[in-house]
Amino acid sequence: MSAGESDLSDSFRRLIAATGPISLAHYMAEANARYYAGKDPLGSAGDFVTAPEISQMFGELAGLWLADLWVRAGRPLPVHYVELGPGRGTLARDALRAMKQAGLEPEIHLVETSPALRAIQAQRLPGAVHHHDMASLPEQGALLLLANEFLDALPLRQLVRTPQGWRERMVVPAADDEGFACIAGERPMDAAVPAERREAARGAILETSPATASVVAEAARRLAAQGGAGLIIDYGYDAPQFGSTFQAVKAHRKVDPFRAPGTADLTAHVDFAAAAETATAQGARWLGTAAQGVWLQALGIDARAAALARHDPGQRAAVEAARHRLVDPEEMGALFKVMGLAHPAWPAGAGFAA
């Protein structure tokens, strides 16, 4: 274990010794802040690969979806492209290239906290304005928003039903002193559980993310106030469920999320049903939530793949492999969801049944 890894584990142990167990949200927030601060985690040499890195088709279709709504909304100006957690800037680059073909050249605003990733984004997207959070985004002009695999890394709370009722899962040092583990806290949390879900079986785990709710609420509030549309794309579920989805990925493999905090990407599945409720409560229009594969095929990824293969026959197999990975239900096509949001007066977007 490196010195950096030891430092964060030791910091958690000292904090817990001084103040008692910490929440899973606290653990996840600090670990991911450390993880993202000093590295580029993407790509084959990193820890994971996202859809924009798999194929240009993903970003192109997302960009065309946004451009289509902007055109049908009357081409309002000013207009701002906003991306939350833009990674290497690959999604933005591909989406903006597609938008330009439709006559749309928005100002570029990137919400990113990682210095390492900001540096890469600045090279790929000259002129882009960086923001630590959405609070400093422009308050005038329509927003065209993308958030791909952003919400899954936000801090998570877990509640567990015990014989004494619902309690929050808290983090403590593991018995073997080699990592950490979860225990049920002492504070009753029944009031935080929806009434229709309180009578779950003992041991049931309910996940909730106030951080996700806050981000979705701010995005929706701005869309409702300023105009615009957005896509939130992530792995998750579109109906309420019980169970832990907390996980860690390092070097493209799942690892123990309670070992070496700050050295792996900690994530959890996104509750898209809750996100849709949050967005509509802020006045935004929920356009629908679709499986990624269904959505991409509705937007024409099959035709785009065929065109790319015709243009460069030597890449036919690679293009087909990328298309398959993005849309196949056994790959990313079913687990990943796409949620569309817009200003109430903006038109509906392609790919959604709602």
The residue among 340, 336, 338 whose CA lies nearest residue 236 is 336
Tokens of 254: 């799942």
- Residue 9 inside a domain? The answer is no
- Residue 322, pLDDT above cutoff 70: yes
What amino acid is encoded at 116 in this protein?
A
Q: Say if residues 221 and 280 touch (Cβ distance below 8 Å).
A: no
Q: pLDDT, tens digit, for every residue of 27-79?
A: 999 999 999 887 777 766 677 889 999 999 999 999 999 999 999 999 999 99
Let me know the angle formed at the C-alpha of 331 by 275 and 38, rounded to the nearest 5 degrees: 65
DSSP letter at 201 equals: P
- Residue 301 inside a domain? The answer is yes
- Residue 149 inside a domain? The answer is yes
Whole-angstrom distance, CA of residue 175 vs CA of residue 322: 44
Q: pLDDT, tens digit, for every residue of 252-290?
A: 899 999 999 999 999 999 999 999 999 999 999 999 999
For position 6, what pLDDT does the model report? 47
- Residue 166 inside a domain? The answer is no
Tokens of 33: 């802040």
Residue 3 pLDDT class (50, 70, 90 cuts): very low
Strands 79-84 and 142-148: parallel
Instruction: Give burial (CB, 10 Å; 0-12/13-18/19+) of 310.
Output: exposed
For position 304, what pLDDT does the model report? 96
For position 48, what pLDDT does the model report? 81
**All residues at 6 or more sequence positions from 189 whose CB lies less than 8 Å from its CB, including other chains:** 159, 165, 166, 167, 168
Helix (H) or strand (E) holding 258: none
Beta bridge partners of 284: none
Q: How many domains does the chain have?
A: 1
- Biggest CA-to-CA distance, the chain: 64
Mean pLDDT of the chain: 94
Residue showing tokens 């569309």 = 340
The CATH number linked to 136 is 3.40.50.12710
For position 194, what pLDDT does the model report? 92
Whole-angstrom distance, CA of residue 160 vs CA of residue 203: 6
Q: How far is CA 326 from CA 33, 88, 113, 285, 319, in A?
A: 28, 19, 27, 26, 11
What percent of the chain lies above the pLDDT cut of 90? 90
For position 242, what pLDDT does the model report? 95
Whole-angstrom distance, CA of residue 290 vs CA of residue 159: 28
- Residue 17 inside a domain? The answer is no
For position 354, what pLDDT does the model report? 55
Rounded to an integer, what is the distance from CA 156 to the centroid of its chain? Answer: 13
Q: pLDDT, tens digit, for every residue of 210-239?
A: 999 999 999 999 999 999 999 999 999 998
- Residue 199 inside a domain? The answer is no
Neighbours of 160 (CB within 10 A): 22
- Residue 165 inside a domain? The answer is no
- Residue 7, pLDDT above cutoff 90: no
- Residue 336 inside a domain? The answer is yes
- Give me the domain span that covers residue 309: 37-155+212-342
Residue 95 pLDDT class (50, 70, 90 cuts): very high
